[in-house]
Each structure stands twice: as structure tokens, then as C-alpha cells.
Structure 1
């Protein structure tokens, strides 16, 4: 074994091959990926990852929430590890890069260290976090949040998907209800690389986006209540249609975000309708929505506009609207020393870079309160994510993995 010297580079062809191979698990007709958390497809991807990690010389451990830890010991075996990672689960109509790219880049780091016969002073651990997306089980970033203690293990295991399957049951079905305790693993630092999920790096021509902080986001459920009635005999002036009220609110939510220019974000992506029967005027709608902006004051103003819109629409449409906040994140400030590490490493590799804010949460967000953390992006060629057309080039994927490899070597050596 030898100690690392100078700049090392990954095998980009091998990284791309791994991305494409694991992307065939849950592949959709549109070329994307459907690999919901703890589904049969997620289980197969996890099993493949574990096999690859062991072949790369790692020991593999799974904890009680299903987080996977692939460890490569250093000369100081009991020292806190340098951790890297992301997630394998996708949204129902996702692509082949969101989350999984960070895991495969981490795997390529482990493979390259093994191939080069490099030994580090500190251990290196590659983590696959459970249920980052929150598409099947809520809340999102579940595995990383249970790991940090932000969410209780029993609570997370009890969460159910729409068909009534709990997280605990799903873990047992796919054989990833691990025996290791959750938490207690010490990290000297954590690094996560991710596709940008937006167009900014592509537009400006930089190859690496150093995440220095985040937008602020507030999430709500709007419950609109009206009156059920027959759709035929009921006169229009008699109606208290919850769906009409919800429709008006969706338009207002969209207006609020658009009024803030490119920094504004507002969404109404999920709806539940009762009784959802042909022939019956909708009595109740539950609408999930959120507002986001890099300025916390603007988020407060956007929320105030949202609440005023609820009041006005309720009055105009003869319904009631209750707006309940259920989650928020940001604004966060990332660790300056870790930002500098990523920036300096990109400079050593002659990769143009820029500072950037993350608009979405990632597993790196809860980990930021646990240890020094770096999050950095590679460009999205299509400028879109959570979509089958999500795409980053092989060259961009290699760039990010090279930054990850050399940053890990600097931290672990």
C-alpha cells in the first residue's frame, strides 16, 4: 500500500458504466427510472451496490432504518471516518442521476483507492441513505434525519405508504432491516455530490457548483372544505365546491412565486380529493404547497400573501380554507472550510466553478448539523430533474467524481 501523492483521477468509463447498469433497475419506457424507496427495485439496487462495495474492498453494514455504510479502513482504524454518499431511491417518474450519481461517484472513489493501492490515515465510509425523496414514505431525508436524531426511529419505522405498508415492513420485505444501531458513527466530515437539478451551471458554463447555502422553504397543507351535493340538480349559485376553491388557490400559489422573478419558487404538487366520485360535488380537498426564496423575509411575505389568498378565496367561493405548516428548511449556511476545500480542489483540477445555493433539501442538509459538510453540484445538461429526461454528460459525471476523490484524499490523509 502507498500513501497518496498529488492529483489522482477516477476511471470515468467505469463510473458511467455503473450509472447505466444500476439505472436499468426500475428503468422506465421513457428512459428514466422508477425506484421508489424500499420497493423491490430499490432492494435490487441496494443488493447490487452492496456487492460492488464488497468487491471494492469495503465492509458493509446496514442499520435499523436501512442506511448502508460501506467502510474502507485507514491506518487509524478507530478514528472518525470521512463520509461520502447520497441515495438510490427516486420519484415515480425520475431520472438516472438524481441521488444515485452521488452514490456511484462515491463507489468509484472506493474502487479507485483500492485499484491504486492507496492507504489513507482516516477511514472512508460511503453511505446510502434511506428514503431521501419522500415520494413513497413521508418525511423526506428520512434515513439521514433518523441518523442525526432529528427524527425518532420508531416514528420513521411506523410511517405508511398509500397502500398501508409501513417503513419497517418494507425494510423487512427487501432484506434491509439492518441490525446495526442507528447513529453513533463519528464522521470527521461528510461530502455529497449531486446533479444540479436546474439550469444555472449549464447556462453559465461552470463545471462545479459549490453549495454555500440554501433557499428558505416552508411547506403547508391547505384543507379546503365545501359541501357535497349532486352535480346535476344543484344550481350553480348553491354550490360550495371545494375543488373550485382549490383550483383558485393553485393559481394564486403560482402567481406568488412568479411575482418574485427567478429567485421565487411556489408549488402545489400534491392533491387529495374527497369523495372523488363522479356525480358528487367535491366536499374536501387537501392541497400540499410550499413557497421558497433565498431571502427569509421574502418567504415570510410570500406566506402572508398565501394566507390572504386563502381568506379571500374562501369568502368568494363559499368554502373554508385552513392552512397548516408542516415542515420548513433553511436558510442554511454551509461550512466555509468545506466550501474552500471543494473550491480549491476544483481549481487544482482546472474545473471552472461558482458558488450556488440549493433550492431543494438533500441528505447533506440534516448532516450539516452533525459534522462539517460539503455539498457540490455538477451541471444538468437538460436543466431538469425529477423527470425521465434528466441527464448529465459522462464528462460532467467524471468531473464531480474527480473532485470528490481528491477532496476525500485531502481530508483522509
Structure 2
């Protein structure tokens, strides 16, 4: 164990080959959940895992589990993983790194003829991004009991297609029940998606906690009218109301520093014509903070402020909170094993809180869980310009290897 390292070039080549599926002109990836491109990525992962001697299980939410047998297969497995779906203009590493780092751990165990006491699994979680089917992390949420199966399968995209329908269409509506499987531990390796590790010249982020999040959908309804003859004082312009709320969302984030984030990322204007006053606007709000009390204060400020703005603009408002993921403290033993592996390997590191949500957040409710962060260039993610250094990716995978083997042999 002391001198074993993963195969850095193989990990990189695997990431680059997966990145070609849905590759974009600017060097990123677009594999929205349950599209044909997502199916291609899943098929490639399954083939690689079968070639590595794994058995494959797919559950009813399309989550994939590739198992490498242990000496005692009655023991619960140590599981690694993340997701293969991307944002519309995503990068090659977000989520994908955690999946393929898990595969590389299994390949390294095979290379060195190491038999772990407990089984080891690499996993893929369906629709982590929530970009096509909101909310995010829905399938790991079903696994952990946050959502029921009917809710998960009924999530629909903007065209009305549901996850259940699309899972069947691409051939990943599995037979296995979702959840009810014991994990000895779960580890998720991931790029940081922020600038802290790079700014501080640290190799590894030992993730102790994850921020809480709330997602909302708002619809403002006014009155469509001609842009020329309609006097300004009598207009009921839904887009003006939305603009005021969007500015308020940004102020809520700025007023709750440090650590608060507040974002409007999706906006639909109807009828979306240059000479018609907008009669309806649909938009989303995303607020985050690692302290649940402050997150509640941000929620209250958003609700009260949006109501006031809508009333002043004489607009009707539909306000829905569609998702709440409380702050997550990760398992101390798993966190300690990541920190210990990092120190044994001689990598610089720091403890940190994840600003993004991850499948590990839900899995932590049903299994001991931790995460491993590695730097990404300029902290950029959810962007085709997302970049990570092969040495950093290999370092995170080496840490993952040690932590997983330790837990599998305990």
C-alpha cells in the first residue's frame, strides 16, 4: 500500500475519452441527463467496469453500481462515485472525475492483485445537476429517502418529458429497488468548483461540511400590451418586477457575507416579443449558506421582498420553494481517513466547506460519507472553460484509493 499509486495517464485518458461524448467547440461537454449522449456515456462506463471484472446493478432511478467483489461479499460495500450528466455548457471534470476516479481505484486494485475484505463499488447517480430535471441530486435523494420514487420518476423537463419516460427510452430504467442498500462508507472525489485551493496552493481539500441550499421557482403575471401606445404609469410589466426581484436576490447574497450565495440562473419571458410589454416572467432563485439559521433569514428576506415588489408593481405572483437541502456535516471517521491519507502521501491540504451540493450530501443521511476536493483552474466550473491539472486529479485519486482500501479492510 505504501508505494502504490494510481495510473495518472490512464485516469487522464479515460476522462478525455468520456469528454468526447457531447464534446463542445470550446472544449467542454454537454451531456444533459437521460439524453442520447448521457446514454453513450453510461454505456461506455458500464463497458469499462465490466472489462475490469465488475458486476453491474442499475436501480429504478437509473443509478449504476459497479461492484468489485471482496473476500467477504456479505459485508456492505465501500462505494465511490458522482455523476456523468453535465450542464448545457459544462466541463470535462465536474462529477465525471468522481465517477472515473472510482473506476481507476478498481483498476489499480486489479493491477496490484489486491483483494479487499469488503466489496468496493464505483457508482453513477442520475441527474445530479438538475439542469434538465429539477431539482438537483434527485436520484441520490430518492436513494436516501428525501424523495419517494414516484416523485423522482415524475420530474419533468421544460418539454414535459419525465425522468421515468426518458429512463425507459434510453434503457436505464433498472429493476433494483432504490435505497435500502447498506454502504460501509461513501467517498466522492470532485473538483473544488471554486478558487480557494488554487489561491492557497493546496493540493487537496478535506471536505468537512456542505452548504445548505434552497431552490425556488417564481412566476410573475402582469398584462401584455403594446410597447408604443401604453402609457408608462399604467403598465403592469412582469419583466420590470422580475428585474427588481433579481436585484434584491443579489443584495440578499451580499448582505449575508461571508459564505452566502444568491443567484437567478434561469429566466423565461412571455411573449418575448420586442414590441410587447412582457405579461409573464418565470424565473428561478438559488440561495446557499452553511449556517441554516442564516439560510432561514435569507429565505424570509426573499419571500417578504418578492411579495412587496409584486404588490407595488400590481403583479400577481406564484412563489414555490421546490427544494431545500440543509447544511451537511460529513462523517468524522471518513473525514479523518481522507485527512490521514493526504498526510501519508505528503500532499498539502486544508479543511473546507463545499459551496456546491453533491450526491454525497444525500448519501450522508444513510451512510458514513466524506468528499475529496482537488483544485480547478481559476475556480471555474459549470463552464466549458473548466480545467484541472492531471497531477492534481491523480493526487485526489491516490487519496481516494487509500481511504477506500482502509475502510474496505477495517
Shift of 1:230: 1.9
- SS at the partner of 1:187? coil
Distance 1:324 1:188, change over 3 A: same
Kindly indicate whether the alpha-carbon contact (under 8 Å) linking 2:129 and 2:136 is maintained by their aligned counterparts in 1.
Answer: yes
Kindly indicate whether the alpha-carbon contact (under 8 Å) linking 1:382 and 1:389 is maintained by their aligned counterparts in 2.
Answer: no
The one of 42, 56, 59 aligned to 1:60: 56
Shift of 1:7: 4.5
Superposed, 1:294-305 pairs within 5 Å as 294-305=290-301
Work out the CA distance in 1 between the residues paired with 2:208 and 2:8: 27
Instruction: Confirm whether residue 249 of structure 1 aligns to residue 245 of structure 2.
Output: yes
Superposed, 1:24-103 pairs within 5 Å as 24-103=20-99
RMSD: 1.6
Kindly indicate whether the alpha-carbon contact (under 8 Å) linking 2:261 and 2:289 is maintained by their aligned counterparts in 1.
Answer: yes
Which residue does the alignment assign to 1:293?
A: 289
Superposed, 1:127-138 pairs within 5 Å as 127-138=123-134
The one of 141, 146, 151 aligned to 1:150: 146
- SS at the partner of 1:411? helix
Which residue does the alignment assign to 1:8?
A: 4
Aligned residues: 409
Distance 1:153 1:304, change over 3 A: closer
Distance 1:160 1:30, change over 3 A: same
Which residue does the alignment assign to 2:118?
A: 122
- SS at the partner of 2:277? coil
Which residue does the alignment assign to 2:395?
A: 399
The one of 172, 175, 186 aligned to 1:190: 186
Which residue does the alignment assign to 1:390?
A: 386
TM-score, length-scaled by structure 2: 0.96
Shift of 1:68: 0.8
Superposed, 1:305-324 pairs within 5 Å as 305-324=301-320
- SS at the partner of 2:141? helix
Kindly indicate whether the alpha-carbon contact (under 8 Å) linking 2:135 and 2:322 is maintained by their aligned counterparts in 1.
Answer: no
Deviations 1:201-247 (A, max 9, x none): 11111111111112222222233221222222111111010101101
- SS at the partner of 2:114? coil
- SS at the partner of 1:382? helix
Instruction: Confirm whether residue 170 of structure 1 aligns to residue 169 of structure 2.
Output: no
Deviations 1:57-100 (A, max 9, x none): 11112122111110011110111101111110001000000000
- SS at the partner of 2:393? helix
Kindly indicate whether the alpha-carbon contact (under 8 Å) linking 1:274 and 1:283 is maintained by their aligned counterparts in 2.
Answer: yes
- SS at the partner of 1:224? strand
Superposed, 1:335-350 pairs within 5 Å as 335-350=331-346
Instruction: Confirm whether residue 266 of structure 1 aligns to residue 258 of structure 2.
Output: no
Instruction: Confirm whether residue 201 of structure 1 aligns to residue 197 of structure 2.
Output: yes
Which residue does the alignment assign to 1:364?
A: 360
Distance 1:305 1:377, change over 3 A: same
